[in-house]
Structure formats: C-alpha cells, structure tokens
Amino acid sequence: MQRVTGFKALAGVAVAATVAAVGHAAPTATTATTAPVAATWKARQLDFTFTGFTTHYTCSGFESVLGRLLRAAGARPDAKVSASCTAPFGHPERISIAHLSFNVLVPLAHATPAVADAKSKPVEAQWKTVRWQAHSPLALDLGEGDCELVDEFARRILPLFSVRDVVNDMNCVPHQLQVGGVDLRFRVLAPLNAAKPKT
C-alpha cells in the first residue's frame, strides 16, 4: 500500500491529508423505482456553516460543490448558494458559511394549501434511488476529501427534501482521505423527466 502525505489543492478545494491509494468503488447510477406521483415545488432557506478537519474550501469552491449536491439531490435547477467570504480571493476558508435558497418537490397530496395553491403547476415526479460515492456519479465531481461535507449535507440539508430510506454509510476520518469513506444512499422525489447523471 502506497501512502502519500502532503498538501493538495484541486478545483477550488484545499486538502491536507494522507491518501491511501487502494482503488475506487464502482460507479453507480440514479435509478427510478416507483410509478409517477403528482408533486409541487416548495421553497427552502437555510444558513449553513461548515468546519472541516480534512478539507477547507475556497469561497467559490464551496458554492460550487454545494450547488451540485443540491441539484443532484433533486432541488430545482435555479438553486442558489451565496457564500460569505473572509479569506483572500482564491484562499481556503477555515470556516465556510453560505446561505442556501432552493426548491424541493413535495407530494401534492401532502402539500399544505399555501404550497398547493402556488403559481407553479403540478409536477409529474417519481421516487428515485440515488447513491453518492467518491468519483460517482462523475457529474458530482466528488472526491475522498469531500467526505465531511457530504456527511454534513446528509445530516442537515437532506432532511429538507422529500426523502426515504436514507442509508448513511459515510466513514470520514479527520485529517485523512479515507478511500471508500463517501457512501450515501437515499430515495428522493425528483422530476420524472430529470436528466440522468453521468456515471
């Protein structure tokens, strides 16, 4: 087993860790699992603070990865992430802070009157099975260094979505890039015609 220790910066992310090079998990796709259901969009707002031990993100890098996670989890494409930046441009933040503004699908049958009477038309949706791992799906551009952020997303942001059967097998080790550490599975209510991510 080869181990490499050092400091690494990629795609707006600064990582200080130990890498264990033992291969990657096989990619998995997003799959539809049930019949279509009527749904409607519901607005969500959240102030999100993240302090990672292994990875520190630049301001733009934090916005980028959170935006990808929101949309991959089923948020409407117009989801917005506005980070508060204190570090010099291009430098990682010790503490990353962002305001999230996004819309999620809720079953029309379970929607409150205020939501059901919204201007948006009913959406044909479906419960879809999603699995996130390092390097899978490719469109998410996740690596082992994103383990802590994905874990926090699962605990604090994912509950704002219409989800079922969440299996959080995240195994994040502080100050290390844990191969196989990123493993999150869930079923989410998503638009029926949503594009399938590249695997």
Which of the two residues, 3 and 188, has the higher pLDDT score? 188
pTM above 0.85, yes or no: no
- Per-residue confidence at 8, pLDDT binned at 50, 70, 90? very low
CA dihedral (131, 134, 138, 140) positive or negative: positive
Write out the two tokens for 20: 């264990």
pLDDT, residue 17, reads: 38
Measure CA of the first residue to CA of the last residue in the chain; give whole Å.
27
Q: pLDDT tens digit string along 57-68? A: 999 999 999 999
Q: Please tell me the distance from the alpha carbon of residue 82 to that of residue 96, in angstroms, as a whole number.
A: 11
Structure confidence at residue 198 (pLDDT): 56
Q: How far apart are CA 31 and CA 21, in angstroms?
A: 29
Tens digit of each residue's pLDDT (9 = 90 or more) over 167-184: 999 999 888 887 878 999
pLDDT at position 87 is 80
Residue 30's φ and ψ, nearest 5 degrees, are -85, 130
